[in-house]
Amino acid sequence: MKKILFWILFPFVIPQAIKIKKSAVRLNGPTGEKSGVFKKPGGRLFKITGLGDSIIAGIGASNSEKTLTPLISSKFKQKRSFETSWTILGKNGIKIYQIMPEFSEKLKKSKPDLIIISAGINDVTGLCRTKKFKNHIKKIKEFAKNELDSPYIAFSGIPEIKNFPLMPFPLGHVLNLRVKILDNIIKKEISTYPKGIYIPLNLKINKNKFSKDGYHPSEDGYNDYADHALKYILKTVSKD
């Protein structure tokens, strides 16, 4: 039903979409390193890799250490008896089908114990077909199993685009129909991966937690995002 309704309504919001695309503020990525270590004497090393779109790349933050992957790594270290390393494999604007061609070799080198994935919002705005979206999530799972010795995968849900300050009515609400469809695919697909973690993002986000582009998190937003994600990660990841 959501799929049919989306395609009925979408032609009416195309002018809004074109206007937003032309006028949107473009932010640079953060400065700083793309990898690091949070040391803990006596703790074994637990490797965390962030994989995916602009949320992983940290658009909206000034420095890479204030982005999602290192924030989760730091907070995880405080909750577990592990030393943590973090690696950022993120690219602004990347779509689900581009992730493995772009990052598979680097992912092999990072040898993660946990992969944090953010993907889908660009597939919403890029009108990715649901079958294609599902198939490329399957490819990520297969790669993790066959090439990476089945690490944990924490797959973030897709945030409700209607709540983004940048998105006017009715464009945001129409696109949000597509968000719900792709988000449900993520939830179902990650549930079939033995060490999969789904991080729901169907929560209202304070507009003050967005960066000046009205689309990406601010540094406070990334910190809240990391706290939220960590709750779900800690429920699943072993203490051993």
pLDDT at 196 over 70: yes
Residue 64 lies in a domain: yes
Collapse the DSSP code of 41 into the 3-class scheme (helix H, G, I; strand E, B; otherwise coil) and give the result: coil
Place of tokens 């689900």: 96
pLDDT digits (tens, 9 = 90+) for 79-111: 988 899 999 999 999 999 999 999 999 999 999
Residue 177 lies in a domain: yes
Q: Which of 13-17, 117-121, 136-140 has the lowest mean pLDDT?
A: 13-17
Local confidence band at 239 (pLDDT 50, 70, 90 cut-offs): low
CA dist 239 to 40, 107, 182, Å?
15, 24, 32
Predicted TM-score (pTM) of the model is 0.95
CATH number at residue 185: 3.40.50.1110
Predicted confidence at residue 168, as pLDDT, reads 94
Top pLDDT among 237 and 112 is at 112
Strand 44-52 versus strand 114-118 pairing type: parallel
**Residues 51-62: what's their mean pLDDT?**
98
pLDDT at 156 over 60: yes
**Other Cβ atoms within 10 Å of 192 Cβ, number:** 10
| Number of domains within the chain | 1
pLDDT at 43 over 90: no
pLDDT at 69 over 80: yes
Strand 35-38 versus strand 82-90 pairing type: antiparallel
Half-sphere exposure of 72 (CA within 13 A, CB side): 30
Which range marks the domain in which residue 98 is found?
Answer: 2-13+38-204+216-236
Q: Which of 221, 240, 187 is nearest to 55 (CA)?
A: 221
Collapse the DSSP code of 87 into the 3-class scheme (helix H, G, I; strand E, B; otherwise coil) and give the result: strand
Residue 73 lies in a domain: yes
40 touches 79 (CB < 8 A): no
Residue 187 lies in a domain: yes
Q: Which of 146, 238, 230, 137 is nearest to 183 (CA)?
A: 137
Q: Which of 25-34, 37-46, 79-88 has the lowest mean pLDDT?
A: 37-46
Local confidence band at 220 (pLDDT 50, 70, 90 cut-offs): very high
Residue 74 lies in a domain: yes
164 touches 214 (CB < 8 A): yes
pLDDT digits (tens, 9 = 90+) for 159-183: 999 999 999 999 999 999 999 999 9
Residue 55 lies in a domain: yes
Amino acid at 72: I
Residue 227 lies in a domain: yes
Predicted confidence at residue 21, as pLDDT, reads 86
Local confidence band at 211 (pLDDT 50, 70, 90 cut-offs): very high
- Average model confidence (pLDDT) across the chain: 94
Those residues with Cβ within 8 angstroms of residue 192's Cβ, 6 or more apart along the chain or in another chain = 141
Residue 186 lies in a domain: yes
